[in-house]
Amino acid sequence: MEEKTGRTSGSAFLKASLIITVFILVFCGYTAFSCWQNNKEILSEVQQAKMICEEAMEERDAKELELKQREKYRDELLDSINEIEDVKKEFFALAKETEDRILNGELDLKIAYLTFDDGPYHRSNQFLDVLDEYDVPATFFYLMKCSETGYAEEDAAYDAIYRRVINSGHTLANHTATHKLGKEGVYSSIDRFVSEVIRNREFIYDRYGYKTEIMRFPGGSDTSSKIPDIIPRLNELGYGYVDWNIACGDGGQLQPANVYRDNVLNNTKDKKVIVVLMHDYSLNTLEALPDIIEGLDKQGYIFLPLFPASSMCRH
Ligand SMILES: [Zn+2]
C-alpha cells in the first residue's frame, strides 16, 4: 500500500515536473517569440524613423543649398546694384562738372534736359523708341499707375514701361501718386502732398528697387501757396524739385506737331541749360520729337538725364 502510494506520488511528481517543464518551455518559447516579434516591430519602427530622419536631413540639406543659392543671388544682385550706383555716381559727377563749366562759360556747349510728365502711357513706348533711335537720355516724371490706383487693366503694360525707363538709363522722377488737383487733391494739405510723394516713392522702390531723388510739383512750383511749406518736408525726404524753362505746349489744347516743335526751338535763345516740358501721350508731340532733338542738336545742345546735383534741381 505504502509502495503503491509511493509509486503514485512519484508518478504524480513526474507528471507535475513534465507539465512544469512543458509550461516553462512553452512560456520561454512564447516569451522568445513575442520578444522576437517585438524586436521585429521595434526594428521596423527604427527603420521607419531612420528613413524619416534621412528624408528630413535631405530636405534640410536641399533647403540649406537653396538658401545659400539665394544668398549668393542676393549678394550678386546687390553687387550689380552697387556697381550701377557707382557708374551713375561717376556719370552724374561728370555731368555736374560739365554743367558747371558750361554755366561758367568755360565750355562752348549747352545742355537740354528733355522731360516727360504724367505717364506712363500706352504711347510711352513710342517715345522711348525715338529716344533710343537718337541715343538721347531724358527724364520721366511719372505717377503711381498700377492696379492699386485704378489702372488694373494697364498694370502689366505700364509695369514694362517703368522698367524700360529705368533700364534705358533715363531718370525716373516722382510726380506724386495721383496728380489730383482741386479741393480733394494733392495740394489740399501739406501732409496730403507729402504722403502722395512718399506713396509713389515707395511704389517705385518696392517694385523696381529704384530710388527717386527728384520730383516735380503737378502744375509747377507756383501752383499752390502751400508749396514753400512743402519744400522743407521734401528736402527731409531727400528730394529736390525741378520746374521747366521751356514748354512745348502739349499740356493744353491740342496743337499741330510743328507748333510744339517751334515752341521749343524758338525759345532757347540765351539759355545755356534748358528743361523742356513735354508729355508722352500726345501723338503730335511724338511727331515733333525727332525735329526737337535734331533742332536742339544743331543749336549745340547735348542731352542729359536730370540728376539731383544739377543747377536745375532746386532744394
Ligand atoms: Zn503733371
CA 228–ligand 1 middle distance (angstroms)? 19
Query: Does 137 sit behind a cis peptide bond, omega within 30 degrees of 0 on the bond before it?
Result: no
With a CB cutoff of 8 Å and minimum separation 6, the contacts of 234 are 194, 197, 215, 240, 241
CA 179–ligand 1 middle distance (angstroms)? 7
pLDDT for 140-184, tens place per residue? 999 999 999 999 999 999 999 999 999 999 999 999 999 999 889
First to last CA, the chain: 134
CA 78–ligand 1 middle distance (angstroms)? 33
Q: For residue 117, with 0-12 CB atoms within 10 Å meaning exposed, 13-18 middle and 19 or more buried, which class applies? A: buried
CA 117–ligand 1 middle distance (angstroms)? 5
- pLDDT on residue 41: 81
CA 288–ligand 1 middle distance (angstroms)? 20
- pLDDT on residue 38: 76
- pLDDT on residue 35: 66
- pLDDT on residue 131: 98
What's the rounded Cα separation, in Å, for the pair 7 and 15? 12
CA 114–ligand 1 middle distance (angstroms)? 14
- pLDDT on residue 78: 79
CA 29–ligand 1 middle distance (angstroms)? 95
- pLDDT on residue 226: 96
CA 285–ligand 1 middle distance (angstroms)? 15
CA 287–ligand 1 middle distance (angstroms)? 20
CA 109–ligand 1 middle distance (angstroms)? 29
Of the candidates 114, 109, 108, 102, the one whose C-alpha atom is nearest the C-alpha of residue 264 is 114
Per-residue pLDDT of the chain (315 residues; tens, 9 = 90+): 555 555 666 677 778 777 777 777 777 677 777 767 777 787 788 888 888 888 888 999 999 999 998 888 888 877 877 888 888 899 999 999 999 999 999 999 999 999 999 999 999 999 999 999 999 999 999 999 999 999 999 999 999 999 999 999 999 999 999 999 988 999 999 999 999 999 999 999 999 999 999 999 999 999 999 999 999 999 999 999 999 999 999 998 999 999 999 999 999 998 999 999 999 999 999 999 999 999 999 999 999 999 999 999 999
CA 72–ligand 1 middle distance (angstroms)? 41
CA 85–ligand 1 middle distance (angstroms)? 28
Of the candidates 301, 294, 299, 285, the one whose C-alpha atom is nearest the C-alpha of residue 247 is 285
CA 279–ligand 1 middle distance (angstroms)? 8
What are the Cα distances from residue 24, in Å, to 16, 164, 219? 12, 90, 105
CA 152–ligand 1 middle distance (angstroms)? 21
CA 182–ligand 1 middle distance (angstroms)? 14
Query: Phi and psi at residue 308, in whole multiples of 5°?
Result: -60, -30
pLDDT for 13-48, tens place per residue? 778 777 777 777 777 677 777 767 777 787 788 888
What are the Cα distances from residue 190, in Å, to 117, 206, 214, 218, 224? 22, 24, 18, 14, 10
Strands 240-241, 301-303: pairing kind: unpaired
CA 219–ligand 1 middle distance (angstroms)? 6
Architecture of the domain whose range is 92-303: Alpha-Beta Barrel (3.20)
CA 175–ligand 1 middle distance (angstroms)? 7
CA 218–ligand 1 middle distance (angstroms)? 4
What's the rounded Cα separation, in Å, for the pair 100 and 237? 26
- pLDDT on residue 2: 53
CA 174–ligand 1 middle distance (angstroms)? 10
Determine the 3-state secondary structure of 141 from DSSP. Answer: strand
